[in-house]
Structure 1
Amino acid sequence: MQKQINILLGLLLFGFSSQAQIAQNNISSFDDISFFVNVNNPKYDNAEGTKYLNEKFIPAKINDLEKLYPVRFDLLDNIMEFKENDQEIMGISPAKEYRIGFTDGSNRVFVSKTIIDETGDLKRLFLEVIKVNPKYSLYKRERVKFQPAKPAKSSYEPEIPAVFKKMNDSFYVDYPDDSIDYLLQLPKNKKKIKTFFGDKGNELVKFAKKEGLKFDSQENLVRILDYYTQE
């Protein structure tokens, strides 16, 4: 009898183990990222603008998964939201390696990368791929900030509503030959540009001025970096 009980317990444990392994395999499709997103935040009620790059969920390919998932990009918190089903909105953190390609015809691709910010801290973020070639890779970060509503100071002044305000884009570059494992933010100040590009800094500023190129435009930056990395 005891032997039969042990066999039964063994089968039950095997079953539980198998189910747990299946669940683990499913979750690992997203590198164990499967947290619920709270989309109902009262402080954002009635705010003007949006914190999303795309308000509506659009189909996207995530890494090498065969299934397409509806996604939208929360620029405020830098989280990719996706729908596992019609009810649940889940989040993907940039903490691990992801490549998310929109399949709505825009051909936009977002990847998780490590950057160094203005304070010298390393951060993981979702960035849009602008150009990748053997000489350099260029990425863009779009951001918004939330400004809470400001009550009227008097009956003569109107209340200022809460708003999501678009911030200036930031651009990051990676050179395959560099040994550093994080992306560098491209400066926009002329003095910092000269320092950033070293010996070719002055030449690059002159080239940009001659061609009417700005360091805050992705199309212009592609031309500037093409010139900088040419043989």
Structure 2
Amino acid sequence: MYNKFLFLFLFIFSNSLWSQNNTFAIQKSNFLTFISANGIEEPKSDIEGSQYINKDFSPSTISCLSEKTPPIRYNVFKEEMEFILDDKLYYVKKSDSCIISLGNNSYKYFENYSKEKKGGYLMILNKLNDPKYILYKKEKVKFVPEYIPNSTYGKEKPASYVIDKSKYYISMPDGLTEFPKKKSELLKLFPNNQVSIESFLTDKKISFSQESNLIELIDFLNTL
């Protein structure tokens, strides 16, 4: 209990210091957009689960801003980067030209990343400098409505937010595409390097269902 109180105190204190020193610079940048005055407390709700995969605010940098930026957290369900300033909740203005780093994770916004023309933040997985191909992960949180059974045999379930299965994407010279789920689809993307890729997949026993294997594979593709 004491540790939780100490953490909350240090967070509020550090955020207050940040606000005092950087409010003017951030407002002047016209990059961060005010959206509400709810503070850091989330409204009470009967909905189980969370709109966040990580609810903590993390140290941040934004590549297209020279100013210092506040601790930020990613609301996966709403597709918003959130931060607190003067006890008010803000969203970071969406831009496909900036990289937002939260702790050890970096995100880029895409206006249309899927076949459904959805916009959202994708996490950058390979850390090479200026890579030809970039591997992205789309984290997902979905809303599951309340379930009320039609008979006494069923079990009632409250509405909930549930972490859904992530999808992976690769940036190609002609744009972003969903990462292949099997070898044959991958070879179609790289018709001039099929022999090398097949050999690598066999030697390294690459699984298309393992994120660490996909990162290893994308690093190899960048050597071709």
* TM-score (ref. length: structure 2): 0.71
Distance in 1 of aligned mates of 2:51 and 2:155: 24
Q: Counterparts of 1:154-169 in structure 2 under 5 Å?
A: 154-169=151-166
Q: Note if 1:219 corresponds to 2:216.
A: no
In structure 2, give the amino acid aligned to 1:125.
G
Two-structure CA RMSD over aligned residues (Å) = 3.1
Percent pairwise identity:
25
Shift of residue 150, structure 1, vs aligned partner:
0.5
Contact 2:32 2:91 in 1 (8 A): no
Aligned length: 197
Alpha-carbon distance in structure 1 between the residues aligned to 2:111 and 2:105: 19
Q: Distance in 2 between matches of 1:25 and 1:68?
A: 9
> Where do residues 22-171 of structure 1 align in structure 2 (5 Å cutoff)?
27=27, 29-31=29-31, 33-36=33-36, 45-63=45-63, 64-86=65-87, 88-103=88-103, 107-119=104-116, 121=117, 123-131=118-126, 132-133=128-129, 134-171=131-168
Matched position secondary structure for 1:169:
strand
Unaligned stretches of 5+ residues in structure 2? 1-22
2:222 to 207, 225, 229: 229
- Relative to structure 1, the CA distance from residue 146 to residue 79 in structure 2 (aligned partners, 3 Å threshold; closer, same or farther) is same
CA gap of 1:113–1:210, structure 2 versus 1, over 3 A, is: same
Output the TM-score relative to the length of structure 1. 0.69
Q: Could you tell me how far 1:81 is from its partner in structure 2?
A: 0.9
Q: Distance in 2 between matches of 1:69 and 1:25?
A: 11
The structure with the largest alpha-carbon Rg is 1
Larger RCO, structure (CA 8 Å, separation 6 or more): 2
The CA deviation at 1:26 is 5.1
